[in-house]
Structure 1
């Protein structure tokens, strides 16, 4: 009887899930997109990714070893995930020292300054990406040209459409799905990223609420804009589909916005969070100075998560 009366602190729900297992699943889910990017851009993709991962792991270890103290946490694979996601937000042709600088900002400033994994209010990889975009806009927006797509001249589809060089309806949606487009490493293979999304759902690492709500919000917003502009026929569905498949929409919705420590804890809060990301992304894409708005949208909504958790939460048992 005494053995059954065990007193222990919360949480009391036991699960086979662990941080290393979750992070390894995220890395596995990103492998298909990494392979497609390697085929499209060449071996430089693997160099940028390996350098980003090595830098993130190294900076986290050094900071814990000589500054923070305590048991090193590089074995939980969170730094590896940050490194891969940061690389997926970079061009394949970016100089190596910019990759290292982005890794330092992501780990040292966006993650370890707040206490490490689970305590950071902003997604580390996106903080690194936005810092590099502001500090080195030329290098961050110079993409290798893809053979057979001379019309884009190295510009991403979003940039080409925003500049008026192309229309969304003139682009082949199959190219956007299969990765035959200029862009960052994680922008060129929507189908591979969606395959990773299915894998994460199957492994129960994430739920569908945030990714699906973001993409649906973007699609509805784009459809309303196309309708207000007098679009008819195929243009009515091509414009929303273009905005879902182009740029970092799928990468941000599936792998960035679903970060445990920077997203709301409840389903209702997650939906509010996701709707905000979708709306801000489309507003920046259509009327902002940048062709892509997913990174800024996720970081802006990250800052609202404490408020969302405060006002959108289940009532305590017995409270009316």
Structure 2
């Protein structure tokens, strides 16, 4: 007979062994190709923007938790991931103080004000990007040409894919779209880099392919129905970046496979509606944000009822 005490706790009693720090570390590894691509196409300033947003996120989390007498949880790397994703959604030319402000908004306003890790109901990086876009639309809409940092020219900006499409300007080839030799935010241009990150996340079982495939597939199918080029639409804007790294966020996406499918389809539908019918050229960020908000409702109707419990009345 053992003298060790029995530990009595609530279910579930099985643990996968996965920890937040390990998951976030895998996400950071998956983002390395996008970071390298941003540095190659847009120069050393891309690394500086990433450094500023990451530093802002980490410092904001540390200081606000000290101020509110909460335990320090920087070791889980969520602030680092948020800062990196935010930077990859920004143009390389953005003033650094705006990038730092975005990090503060993502951590303090979106994350910590709602309780910290696992309590925020919208994606912090996406929300911070939208706030910056609405507050500083001019600075957030300046796109540098790839490799312009190597040129000795005063004209280094060009139109994004959607701006070129609306203005009947020459479009990048599909090969350039795939490799990332085009204007755009730091992490959105290279489909190749983002797909390499997706492969790694699937290999490590950090995410499942359901949300990215349904999200991107919905955009491609509806774009084709509406007369657009599905390949261009699937590789343009921040679609792959959003579908792979932000729509799959554990906290702000549904729990069940059915719910995730509904969520991803809704993201794709809203993205297409904004791209084709709204005044905004791009809709991925807004689509993810809106579907984040309805995620609790999706969970309510898709999580199976526990055996023996009464059905909740509407």
Q: Could you tell me the TM-score, scaled by structure 1's length?
A: 0.90
Matched with 1:296 is 286
1:161 and 2:165 aligned: yes
The 8 Å contact of residues 60 and 112 in structure 1, kept in 2 or not, is answered as: yes
Q: CA deviation at 1:5?
A: 5.1
Match of 1:75 in 2: 75
d(CA) in 2 for partners of 1:302, 1:122: 5
Aligned to 1:93: 93
* Corresponding residue number in structure 1 for 2:238: 248
Query: How many residue pairs end up in the alignment?
Result: 302
Within the candidate set 245, 248, 257, 1:267 is matched to 257
Alpha-carbon distance in structure 1 between the residues aligned to 2:167 and 2:117? 39
Runs of 4+ in structure 1 over 4 Å off: 1-5
**C-alpha deviation, 1:318, in angstroms:** 4.3
Query: How far does residue 251 in structure 1 lie from its aligned partner after superposition?
Result: 0.3
> Does the alignment pair 1:203 with 2:204?
yes
Q: Is 1:276 paired with 2:276?
A: no
Q: Conserved in 1, the CA contact under 8 Å of 2:142 and 2:157?
A: no
Q: Does 1:19 align with 2:36?
A: no
SS at match of 1:260: coil
Structure 2: unaligned runs, 5 residues or longer: 149-155
1:215-234 to 2 correspondences below 5 Å:
215-226=216-227
Question: What is the rounded CA distance, in whole Å, between the counterparts of 1:162 and 1:217 in structure 2?
Answer: 22
Give SS of 1:110's match.
helix
Q: Partner of 1:261: helix, strand, or coil?
A: coil
d(CA) in 1 for partners of 2:22, 2:77? 8
Deviations 1:242-294 (A, max 9, x none): 01001100000000100011000000000000000000001111111111100
Q: Deviations over 1:130-168 (max 9, x none)?
A: 0000000010000112359xxx951111221133334xx
Partners of 1:207 and 1:113 in 2: CA distance: 29
Structural RMSD (CA): 1.8
Q: Is the 8 A contact 2:91 2:141 kept in 1?
A: yes
Does structure 2 retain, via aligned residues, the 8 Å contact 1:218–1:282?
A: yes
* TM-score calculated relative to the size of structure 2: 0.92
Once residues 211 and 162 of structure 1 are traced to their aligned partners in structure 2, the CA distance between those partners, rounded to angstroms, is 27
CA deviation string 1:100-158 (max 9, x = no partner): 1111111110101100010000000011100000000010000112359xxx9511112
Superposition pairs of residues 40-189 of structure 1, within 5 angstroms:
40-66=41-67, 68-146=68-146, 154-166=158-170, 171-189=172-190
Does structure 2 retain, via aligned residues, the 8 Å contact 1:111–1:120? yes
Note if contact 1:162-1:286 (Cα within 8 Å) is conserved in structure 2: no
Q: Distance in 2 between matches of 1:295 and 1:76?
A: 25
Q: Provide the residue aligned with 1:306 in structure 2.
A: 296
- Inter-partner Cα distance in structure 2 for 1:27 and 1:137: 28
> Offset of 1:215 from its aligned partner?
0.6
Q: Distance in 2 between matches of 1:147 and 1:116?
A: 39
Structure-1 separation of matches of 2:12 and 2:111: 24
Answer whether contact 2:31 2:194 (CA < 8 A) is retained: yes
